[in-house]
Amino acid sequence: MRGANSFWGVLALVLSLSLAGVVRSAAPHGPGPDAPGPGGPARFAGRQHGWREMNFQRRQQRMLNRIKQELKVTDAEWAVLKPQVQQVQQLQFESRLAAFMWRFHRRGMVWPANPLVQAMQALAGTLHDPHATAAQIRGKLAALRLAREAAAAKLMAAQRHLRGLLTLRQEAVLVEQGLLDY
């Protein structure tokens, strides 16, 4: 059950982040002729973005606090573990974001700069080109596979490093939470 909840949580997080980027890019950049008060709609859009960013930071902090509590570590131990936990979380997020974006690719949307995402975008662009040759598609697929393997290797290395800092019980807790692979 915990795995299903974390999947939906990650999906909601990815959707909210991608939606925040779309809203930000679509927001007017200055007061229009009928803008109410100084700043107009741009000021309102900025406030919304600030709220979403603050909400994301709170959610992330609550998650980290929960992990610290479940690991039953001291503040000194957490000072060592926290950066490693955050790095694994970031790498997992980037990998899941890339997979999500691949399924729901939309032209014109701005996605974060990530080698895996860029390789997926390049393949999608080639697939949308009616004049693309088999050799071009094969090359983009090969580049995507290399990017995916590199991202997986980077994540595995970060998980291996984190695993080396944990007790057996702590490792089991992070496996249960989906932060470490089996």
Query: Is the residue at 157 inside a domain?
Result: yes
Kindly state the average pLDDT of the residues 72-79.
94
- Please count the structural domains in the chain: 1
Q: Return the pLDDT at 2.
A: 52
Residue from 47, 41, 12, 11 nearest 27 by CA:
41
Burial of 84 (0-12, 13-18, 19+ CB in 10 A): middle
pLDDT band for position 72 (50/70/90)? very high
Decide if 117 contacts 17 (C-beta within 8 A): no
Q: Which residue has the higher pLDDT, 115 or 4?
A: 115
Query: Is the residue at 106 inside a domain?
Result: yes
> pLDDT (tens digit, 9 = 90+) per residue, 107-151?
556 666 788 888 888 888 899 899 999 999 999 999 999 999 999
Decide if 116 contacts 93 (C-beta within 8 A): no
Poorest-confidence range of 45-49, 51-55, 177-181? Answer: 45-49
Kindly state the average pLDDT of the residues 4-28.
47
Query: Is the residue at 71 inside a domain?
Result: yes
Kindly state the average pLDDT of the residues 93-111.
69
Q: How far apart are CA 4 and CA 51, in angstroms?
A: 27
Query: Is the residue at 172 inside a domain?
Result: yes
pTM of the model: 0.64
Which residue range(s) make up the domain with 169? 2-30+38-176
Decide if 42 contacts 52 (C-beta within 8 A): no
Kindly state the average pLDDT of the residues 87-96.
88
Q: Which residue has the higher pLDDT, 7 or 115?
A: 115
Query: Is the residue at 182 inside a domain?
Result: no
Q: Which residue has the higher pLDDT, 127 or 105?
A: 127
> pLDDT (tens digit, 9 = 90+) per residue, 25-37?
334 444 444 444 4
Q: Which residue has the higher pLDDT, 93 or 173?
A: 173
CA atoms within 13 A on the CB side of 151: 23
Does 153 score more than 60 pLDDT?
Answer: yes
Does 85 score more than 90 pLDDT?
Answer: yes
* Residues 24, 27, 28, 32, Cα dihedral to 10°: -140
Query: Is the residue at 123 inside a domain?
Result: yes
Q: How far apart are CA 50 and CA 39, in angstroms?
A: 15
Kindly state the average pLDDT of the residues 5-10.
53
Query: Is the residue at 181 inside a domain?
Result: no
